[in-house]
Amino acid sequence: MVQVNVKETAGGFKNCRLHDLMRDLCISKAKDENFTKIIDFRREKKATESYASSTTMRRVSVYLETSGTNFPAACTEYDHIRSAFFYANDCKGDLLQHMKSHLGNFKLIRVLDLQGFHCPDELPKAIGDLIHLRYLSLSYSEFKKLPSSLSKLIFLETLDLEVDGALEIPNVIWKMVRLKHLYLPRNFLTQDGTKLRLDGLSELETLVNFNTSLCDVKDLDKLTNLRKLRAAIEDNLDDLPNIIKYISFTQNHLRRSSLSISCPQFCSDAELSLLRTLLGCHRLYKLCIRGHIAKLPEHYHFSSSIAKIAFKASALSEDPMATLQKLPKLSSLTLYDSTYVGEEMVCLTKGFPRLLYLKLWGLSNLRTWRIDEGAMPKLTRLVIAHCGKLEMLPDGLKFITTLQKLNVRWMPDGFKNRLRAADGEGEDFYKVRHVPDIKLD
């Protein structure tokens, strides 16, 4: 009764959901036992009365109208609430004024989730009065800035700031000494214009969207309990040695790291040496590089722990498959925008033993692609797009019986017609007849 909602490209899944029948049963049971209450202003005519009657309920989930006009009135009797989830459904009404009055009454709340709020203003300062908060999430919302009163949330353990758009953050997060999980926005700036301090977070276990342009890489040394790190380096490689040092340090608790690098190039001997050192980091799980790479290091320079790789605009003149197909745990591979500028690509027998997901996007010079029998024996998803000179699908796809999804996008009509002729099946359709989900865009 639990269903996969979003699958990982490398197997597993990102999140799941309950079947409708199971969800209805859980809601009914929760209502009977006064465990939680769900109030839907989108459907219930008496939702306001229902919300006001929640005087004994400790957990509430509130779905708001798109207009944001039918917002529940504040009540001083809500100080019993411990968990509140507000789903604003992309409301663009004046919700902040309503939220201010609510926040003042949630004196004992521990969990607060504000999703889908699109407000070009500051999050109410009253958020700092919720000193018992353990969990605060603003995911999928949009606020202009956060108040400095956040520093009062000294018991906070999870802070999710993965909001839409740019966010101005007060440089006070380092004071939340009990913080264990921090999800930063992809795009933000501090109110004082300096890099965001994180050096006081010695209990932090999860750090997502750590950007060396916005955060001080030296603060990582103070995060002695970090288990998961997702970091980004932009424009230059000055901070890469410190990132490598932290990932490689054997005395910390780091288990998995993901790194995204956007820089002009890895071309000089020093830059290629740095790349080889990075590839050898045993805690490196995912690597994305945007920029020119003069030559891809040999496969023995790659750590066996690397599971996901994405290259963009690498301009490699030699077939990268010759190296990448030898990586024993690689499960996801994406080659974007002229990462390979050659005309022929070959996947040999026993190559890519664990690859599940492959995307070829914008390889404008690629003409022929050969897949030998026994290559990519576990591939489940294949995406081919903007490869304008690719003549046809490789014949070896017929041997990959595990393939579940094939997505062909923005390819020439001649390529697509080999799959789908005017009267039905094209001359190449036999290669992918076994694939249950084929999309031609």
Query: Strand 284-293 to strand 256-266: parallel, antiparallel, or no bridges (unpaired)?
Result: parallel
DSSP, collapsed to helix, strand or coil, labels residue 27 as: helix
Per-residue pLDDT, 49? 53
Query: In Å, how far are 11, 309, 377 from 53, measured between CA atoms?
Result: 45, 52, 58
Query: Quick one: average pLDDT of 384-393?
Result: 97
Three-class SS state of 61 = strand
Pick 31 or 108 by higher pLDDT.
Answer: 108
Measured between alpha carbons, how far is 395 from 384 in angstroms, rounded to an integer? 15
Question: What pLDDT score was predicted for residue 48?
Answer: 55
CATH 2.60.120.620 fits 36-226, yes or no: no
pLDDT in tens, 271-288: 999 999 999 999 999 999
pLDDT of amino acid 316: 97
Distance in angstroms (rounded) separating the CA atoms of residues 424 and 413: 15
CA 438 centroid distance within chain: 25
pLDDT digits (tens, 9 = 90+) for 35-71: 888 888 777 655 555 555 555 678 888 888 766 556 6
Residue written as token pair 């790789």? 309
Q: What is the arithmetic mean of pLDDT over 382-397?
A: 97
pLDDT per position as a tens digit, 167-224: 999 999 999 999 999 999 999 999 888 999 999 999 999 999 999 999 999 999 999 9
Across 37-41, 90-94, 242-246, least confident range: 90-94
Taking 70 as the threshold, does the pLDDT of residue 91 lie above it? no
- Of residues 63 and 344, which shows the higher confidence score? 344
Q: What is the pLDDT of residue 321?
A: 98
pLDDT at 11: 61
> Which ranges in 59-212 belong to alpha helices (H)?
95-103
| pLDDT tens-digit map of 400-439 | 999 999 999 999 999 999 998 656 788 999 999 999 999 9
Q: Where are the domains of the chain?
A: 1-35, 36-226, 307-441
What's the pLDDT at 314?
97
Measured distance CA(287)–CA(308) in Å, rounded: 6
Whether 84 contacts 105, CB under 8 Å = no
Alpha-carbon distance of 316 to 328, in angstroms, equals 22
Residue among 18, 65, 11 nearest 41 (CA): 65
Model pLDDT, residue 6: 57
| Residue position matching structure tokens 């410190």 | 242
Tell me which amino acid residue 93 is.
Answer: G
| pLDDT exceeds 60 at position 334 | yes
pLDDT of residue 293: 97
Percentage with pLDDT > 90 across the chain: 67
Report percent pLDDT > 70 for the chain. 89
The mean pLDDT value of the chain amounts to 89
pTM greater than 0.95 (yes/no): no
